[in-house]
Structure 1
Amino acid sequence: MAEQYTANDVPQIAPTFRLQWEQAQDCYVVLYPEGMVKLSDSAGEIMKRCDGETTVTGILNNLHETFPDADLDADVYKFLEVAHGNGWIRKK
């Protein structure tokens, strides 16, 4: 079962992974010892906010400021579950 994230959870990038802007790919990627995962634009925007200090509510508020016309709450929660399931992030 997927890990559920709540408004007060604080996601952070897991220690064996690193988020990096890859100029050659023109996108954010998640790097790990065995390779890398190319992220979509929206996934990169969410991941770069998983700083280990900001709650999910804070991430959503920031995304709403950046993308005021987007209806994104459900997508953010779903991405956090998927990213957690892949081991890219964890709860602090």
Structure 2
Amino acid sequence: MSDAEIPGNARPRLGAHVRMRPDRATGGYVLLGPETVVVLNQTGHAVLRLCDGERTVDQIVASLVEGYDGADTDVVGEQVRDYLSRLAARNLVAFTRTRR
């Protein structure tokens, strides 16, 4: 799914068998998947901690914008969609069907 295809009402969650865990070595967080470890920066962690399958992409973007003074909603939305798209391509993030 490309970032242009991720609708605002999509509900991202971690993929099957993927877990986010604290990393003692870095003091940050990592994503653990089958044969995969991804070290997260603070921004990646901020996005993924909100990906619970309940919040929509639009709600995640709004929450992130609220936390950063002067953040542009359109820019943050584009960056979040791009990030989620790249993780989805690696099966680290999946999308829950939207509710009608």
Shorter chain as denominator, the TM-score bin is 0.7 to 0.9
Q: 1:54 and 2:28 equivalent?
A: no
Q: Which has more radius of gyration? A: 2
> Which structure 2 residue ranges, 5 or more long, are not aligned?
none
Structure 2 distance, partners of 1:83, 1:90, is: 9
Pick aligned residue for 2:93 from 72, 89, 92: 89
Pick aligned residue for 2:81 from 77, 81, 85: 77
* Percent of aligned pairs with the same amino acid: 27
> Which structure 1 residue ranges, 5 or more long, are not aligned?
none
Deviation per CA, 1:44-82: give whole Å up to 9, x if none.
111111111000011011101111323322111100100
Partner in structure 2 of residue 41 of structure 1? 42
State the TM-score, normalizing by the size of structure 2. Answer: 0.81
Q: How much is the aligned-residue C-alpha RMSD, in angstroms?
A: 1.6
Return closer, same or farther for 1:61/1:14 CA change in 2, 3 Å cut-off. Answer: same
Structure 2 distance, partners of 1:90, 1:43, is: 15
Structure with bigger helix share is 2
Number of positions where the alignment pairs a residue of Structure 1 with one of Structure 2: 92
State the TM-score, normalizing by the size of structure 1. Answer: 0.87
